[in-house]
Structure 1
Amino acid sequence: MGNWIDLKTDADTGIESVRAHFVGHAYDPHWHDSFLVGVTEQGVQQFNCRRVRHRSTPGQVFLLEPGDIHDGLAPTEDGFTYSTLYLQPAWLDQQLGALFEQVPRDSLPSFADTLSHDVQLAQATALAFQAVHQQDLRIVRQSATDALLASLTRHLHWRRRQNPDPRLPLTAQRARDYLHDNLERDIGLEELALACGIDRFRLTRAFKAAFGLAPHAYLIQLRLAHARRRLALGQRPADVAIALGFADQSHLGRWFRRAYQLTPAQYRRLCSNIPD
């Protein structure tokens, strides 16, 4: 069985539901703007995240926050299959605000663990995925996602929103912010280092130590995350490529496929129902 991906988007919540199967190399290091809650159905899903190598087996739930850099690999010949819900941060904030009587001020929801053996959470994840992915009745979808959120509360903690983040080197954070502010420009290392008041060699070392990627790789992943958003809104791949500083549509396509195993046109069609 080869690689395949089945992706749908819920119009009410913006939740993306993805069921996929991979053999061998699945995808390069990348991140998402969403909270990922998924369950491994079959095989062994191996991935690196937060400087730890994880192996998710059938029935385990994997939990990733926005910005968590991760890759994917099937270490066994039969590959792996998983179902994942991509929860939009704005939607999750709204739901948690209704679920908790008092949400800590200036705080962000955070997952306590990357992998969980919680059977109840696995069942709630599978049922929510089924309801959303099969586009069931609205009341069924809402009931299933409510049950998922209730199960998730045992795995959430609140992380104080701080800028700058005391856990990371200030130089790396300045470089990251500069990349975000200039993501569509053809930025060189010398320019980035000058903006941070440090030479480019020390900058690269500090940045990679903080974020797990070199600055150029981070910039590409940042552009890809923005590309997903634009494509989901129905923008044409060629226009997205130009707007985000890629050389052309094929350049965007090469990086997009390496990260997500979909072409930009496929992703746009699956999210927006607009034909190629």
Structure 2
Amino acid sequence: MRHNDWAKYWRAPDRRLESMHAHFEQHVYHRHSHETYSFGVTETGAQAFTCRGAARTSAAGMVMALNPDDPHDGQSAVANGFTYRMIHIGPELIRGALDDAADGAVGLPLFVEPVLKDPVLADALRALDNALRGEGRLAQDEALSATVRALVRRGSTRPVRERVLPTEVHRARELLEDAYAEDISAERLAAEVGCSRFALHRGFVAAYGLAPSDYQRQLRLRAARRLLIDGHSPAEAAAASGFADQSHLTRWFKRYYGVTPGRFRNP
């Protein structure tokens, strides 16, 4: 990484639970989303990003709360950069923590505001990150359950609202998911779903916040992540997920996730 940028990644070996502790001055995140819930706390500086059609800023002490498939980007909003912790939690772990709660929570939560000014949640996220990196499984589970319940209680509505999407857009997403590694042209995609290229592009961005090409690249990156977790080399992951070569995967992996495939594979 350039200048004073650094990142430390932690990943659970047996469940969808990951954490990043990083400082970025120069790094710029490409617009992307995660399959998981993503909760962060800014420690120093300020991060600027766009999410749900508006510009956002998370300054020191603020909490970020992103739902699965919430498109966002990100970069430093100040000259000296920002330091933050980000924890990615699979929806199944969120559901499990809520099902175990005494209040009998039903359904998955929806976080309406991407940035929250809440010192209690900021402290809870720091404590969870410390537990994940330095404690045993029991302490990790306790911290995860307590933090999830606090996040839902203080910052969300529930359940997640279902979206009704145009048939053509939904079908295009299915086609991309089925053939993400293929070199699909815009003409072919539009022809397959029965509408014009312009109408499909406009509808897809409106529905998912990403252009079809960005969504396809994201699917490839998610596939590469799974392969890396399973022990495949970056070169193998690149070839199997549709990237031209390892350097192509590495370039985009860093832009989306802030770390190289090698660092992600061996945190």
TM-score (norm. length: structure 2): 0.91
After superposition, the Cα gap between the structure-2 partners of 1:229 and 1:217, relative to the gap in structure 1 and judged at 3 Å, is same
Structure 2: 5+ residue stretches without partners: none
Asked whether 1:75 is paired with 2:77, we answer: yes
Q: CA deviation at 1:16?
A: 0.9
Residue by residue, what CA displacement relative to the aligned partner does 1:2-36 show, whole Å, maximum 9, x if unpaired? Answer: 11000112346442111000114431111111111
The corresponding residue for 1:259 is: 256
Contact 1:17 1:86 in 2 (8 A): yes
Shift of 1:101: 5.0
Which amino acid is 2:225 matched to?
Answer: R
Q: Partners of 2:108 and 2:174 in 1: how far apart?
A: 19
2:67 is aligned to 65
- Looking at structure 1, the residues matched to 62 and 38 of structure 2 have their Cα atoms a distance apart, in angstroms, of 13
> In structure 2, the residue corresponding to 1:183 is in which secondary structure?
coil
Render the CA deviation track for 1:147-166: whole Å, top value 9, x for unaligned. 2122112223224574xx32
Alignment partner of 1:114 is 2:114: yes
Deviations 1:98-132 (A, max 9, x none): 1255454xx43321321111221111111111111
- Asked if residue 45 in structure 1 is aligned to residue 42 in structure 2, the reply is no
1:16-65 CA deviation, whole Å, 9 max, x = no partner? 11100011443111111111111000001111111111100111110111
Q: How many residues align?
A: 264
The reply on whether 1:212 has 2:222 as its aligned counterpart is: no
Matches within 5 A, 1:1-276: 2-11=4-13, 13-99=15-101, 102-104=104-106, 107-133=107-133, 135-154=134-153, 155-160=155-160, 162=162, 165-166=163-164, 168-270=165-267
- 2-side partners of 1:98 and 1:118: how far apart? 24
Q: 2:28 is paired with a residue of what secondary structure? A: strand
CA offsets, 1:201-235, max 9 Å, x none? 22112222222222111110121122122212211
C-alpha separation in 2, matches of 1:62 and 1:161: 20
The residue aligned with 1:274 is none
Q: Is the 8 A contact 1:31 1:225 kept in 2?
A: no
Q: Distance in 2 between matches of 1:197 and 1:117?
A: 45
Give the corresponding residue for 1:273.
none
Whole-Å separation in 1 of the counterparts to 2:108 and 2:179: 25
Question: Are 2:253 and 2:261, in contact at CA under 8 Å, matched by a contact in 1?
Answer: yes
Q: SS of 1:21's equivalent?
A: strand
Instruction: Measure the CA separation in 2 of the matches of 1:11 and 1:249.
Output: 24
Q: 1:258 to 1:144 in 2, by over 3 A?
A: same
CA displacement at 1:77 relative to structure 2: 0.7
- Give secondary structure in 2 for the equivalent of 1:111: coil
Q: Write the distance in 1 (CA, Å) between the matches of 2:227 and 2:51.
A: 26
Q: Distance in 2 between matches of 1:24 and 1:241?
A: 25
Give the counterpart letter for 1:208 in structure 2. Answer: V
RMSD: 1.9
Q: Quote the offset at 1:188 in angstroms.
A: 1.2
User: How far has the Cα of 1:183 moved from its partner?
Assistant: 1.1
Contact 2:46 2:60 in 1 (8 A): yes
* Identical aligned residues as a percent: 39
Please state whether the residue corresponding to 1:110 is helix, strand or coil. coil
Moved more, 77-86 or 244-253: 244-253
